[in-house]
Amino acid sequence: MSSFSLQKLVRKNIADLVPYSSARDEFKGKADVYLDANENSLGSPLPKWYHRYPDPQQKAIKQKLATIKKVNAEQILLGNGSDECIDLIFRCFCVPGVDNVIVCPPTYGMYQVSAHINDVQLLQAPLLPDYQLNLAHLETLVNAHTKVIWLCSPNNPTGNSLHRTDIEYVLNNFNGLVVIDEAYINFSKHKSWISELENYPNLIILQTLSKAWGLAGVRLGMLLASTDIVSILNKAKPPYNIPQPTQELVLKALDEVAQVNSMIEHLVDMRNALMEVFAEMPLVEKVYPSDANFFLVKMSRAREIYEYLVEQSIVVRDRSSVTFTENCLRITVGTEQENTKLVNALATWWEQNPPTAQS
């Protein structure tokens, strides 16, 4: 990575930016009387301290996360979901109408949406038929304006992890930023890239509390990177991007690592069992390998089956008309009861729709 230069990658307006300085930034000590932030000094209709602005740097959460993730607190940026972190990367590093980024479809749709919102050109190096990186194609796309390569591993919607050696190749040979979205890492048998942060100054890792931690409604995304990258993103983030209720709930949840670990173990067991059942179903053409809490299934009559399941009040994700996932449904692992209901419904469909000459 001899030619990696963060100074060259960051947008000039961000490098030159004087960030907003909040009341809590300007006075960090303890006082008896706070008359510096125009809050309602009488309180609020809610109990506790909701009349006060929350900690803009979420120090208590970062301290706990630093211990759990084995990084320094300064290497963490928290967002209102990973989606805010994704947008921040675009806004700090990609000049609208000039720069480009590369994505590897089929993958998480937010990279593309965020690119479009920010008027940043999106180049695509589709995954190979086994849903692994096409390094040769990827290399041909990179040009002087390529700022970010977006990787997702385990990948959504395919479920598989990308080969470690392929990701290493990208990290070693691309002088822009490499984002690895690890939203599903807790369900994977492969280890996180966090321990490689010290080796790769161009690496950004995204994780979230929305999946394994069971806190999709709370909205907390984490970005892990070098302190230099985090400082740049920090300048551009909205000062109070993580609300007080979220901060309180997250602090409580982070003490429950053991409970979360046992849920992960249960979900992975159920995923493996469910995938085996699907593999035996006559209507299933292929069950793709999964390191996540969902899996992708190819079925010859996927759209019909999707609609039938909706009639049975069971909703899966229809990816059947999406390029690279033709005839596929993406199925999230449910509770034991939900999984049984799904399997029984599919068995009934099969009985009612025997194969024909055309099928």
Ligand X SMILES: *Cc1c(COP(=O)(O)O)cnc(C)c1O
Q: Contact residues for ligand X (CB under 6 A)? A: 81-83, 108, 152, 156, 181, 183, 208, 210-211, 216, 221
Residue placing its CB nearer to ligand X in the complex, 123 or 183: 183
Kindly state the smallest distance separating residue 133's Cβ from ligand X, in Å: 16
Residue placing its CB nearer to ligand X in the complex, 71 or 292: 292
Residue placing its CB nearer to ligand X in the complex, 53 or 111: 111
Kindly state the smallest distance separating residue 34's Cβ from ligand X, in Å: 32
Kindly state the smallest distance separating residue 82's Cβ from ligand X, in Å: 3
Concatenated DSSP letters for 44-100? -SSSTTTTSPPPTT-HHHHHHHHHHHTS-GGGEEEESSHHHHHHHHHHHH--TTT-E
- Phi/psi zone of residue 313: left (φ > 0), alpha (ψ -120 to 50 degrees), beta? left
- For 261-283, letters b (16+ CB in 10 Å) and e give eebbeebbebbeebbebbeebeb
Is the separation of the CB atoms in 101 and 119 below 8 Å? no
Residue placing its CB nearer to ligand X in the complex, 10 or 293: 293
> Nearest-CB residue to ligand X?
81
Residue placing its CB nearer to ligand X in the complex, 127 or 283: 127
Kindly state the smallest distance separating residue 103's Cβ from ligand X, in Å: 11
Residues ≥6 apart with Cβ < 8 Å to 96: 118, 119, 120
Tokens of 228: 């230099």
Kindly state the smallest distance separating residue 131's Cβ from ligand X, in Å: 14
221 forms bridges with which residues in the sheet? Answer: 79, 208
Residue placing its CB nearer to ligand X in the complex, 45 or 217: 217
Kindly state the smallest distance separating residue 184's Cβ from ligand X, in Å: 7
- How far is Cα 92 from Cα 114, in angstroms, rounded to an integer? 13
Is the separation of the CB atoms in 76 and 226 below 8 Å? no
